[in-house]
Every structure is written in structure tokens, then in C-alpha cells.
């Protein structure tokens, strides 16, 4: 799987006084894309967490190129940028659905695999089936 696209419609509450999407919504949209990406790989976040494995956020980066407004139809494109036995990095592009050639925003998030008490783990050792799923999904990266 190279990437997944998640369609969203900008809600009024996601806009600011200027009528454009407030910057704080993009990390939320990235999470929507990331959660759907994991689900499309064949496993849900809740199933991963039921195994005692967490994927906390270490860093988030976002570059705003253009803006979006209320009721715009957008697409959040999510892919794996890189991964290792302990880390997972995602890449995001947000497009207006009528212009998939020019992203309005680009972003990245970095995560670490941990236990429930936030101690880093080697995913390949602790949950080899999930590591194989991630590896397979990232193969086209």
C-alpha cells in the first residue's frame, strides 16, 4: 500500500474568524488519516493497544501552502515515510478534492512504539505480526 486517501468536509467549527481552516485542525486530520491507514493495513489501533502497545507522538510538522474554507471537500493522503523496529514516521498531504495536483498542506508525524507505561520497545520482537504488516505496507515507500 503506497498511500490511502480519506475524504473530509470542512466543518464550520474548524474555521477561524477569517473563515479559513484553523491550523490546529491539521494534526487532528493527520490522526484521522493515520488511524484509517492502520485500519486499511488490516489492524485497528484498539487491537494494537489491547496488546499493550502504544504509538505516542514524538513530533509533528506542518507546512501550510494554501488555505481551505467552510464546506470545502478535502482529501487527507497518508503514507508511511519511514519505519524501524522502534519508530514509525508518517507523511501527509491535504488537498482540495477538486485539485489533487496541488496540496494545500504537507505534514509529517514521528512516533515511537512503547509499552503502556511508555517504555520504548522493539516492535519486531514484541509484536512481529504487526511489524510485518507495517513492513509490507511500507514496501513501496
Q: Which residues are catalytic?
A: 16
Provide the CB-side half-sphere exposure for 132 (13 A, CA). Answer: 3
Please, what sign has the CA dihedral across residues 114, 130, 29, 90?
positive
| Residue 36 CB partners (closer than 8 Å, separation 6+) | 4, 6, 78
DSSP state for residue 128 in the 8-state scheme: H
**Three cell numbers written together for 72:** 470545502
Give the helix/strand (H/E) hosting 117: none
Question: Phi and psi of 9, rounded to 5°?
Answer: -120, 130
Amino acid at each position: 500500500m503506497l498511500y490511502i486517501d480519506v475524504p473530509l468536509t470542512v466543518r464550520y467549527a474548524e474555521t477561524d474568524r477569517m473563515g479559513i481552516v484553523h491550523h490546529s485542525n491539521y494534526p487532528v486530520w493527520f490522526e484521522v488519516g493515520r488511524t484509517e491507514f492502520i485500519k486499511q493495513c488490516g489492524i485497528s489501533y484498539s487491537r494494537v493497544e489491547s496488546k499493550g502497545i502504544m504509538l505516542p507522538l514524538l513530533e509533528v510538522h506542518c507546512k501550510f501552502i494554501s488555505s481551505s474554507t467552510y464546506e470545502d471537500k478535502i482529501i487527507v493522503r497518508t503514507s508511511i515515510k519511514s519505519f524501524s523496529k522502534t519508530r514509525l514516521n508518517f507523511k501527509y498531504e491535504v488537498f482540495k478534492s477538486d485539485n489533487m495536483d496541488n496540496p494545500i498542506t504537507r505534514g509529517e508525524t514521528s512516533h515511537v512504539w512503547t509499552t503502556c507505561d511508555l517504555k520504548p520497545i522493539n516492535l519486531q520482537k514484541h509484536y512481529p505480526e504487526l511489524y510485518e504488516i507495517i513492513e509490507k505496507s511500507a514496501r513501496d515507500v
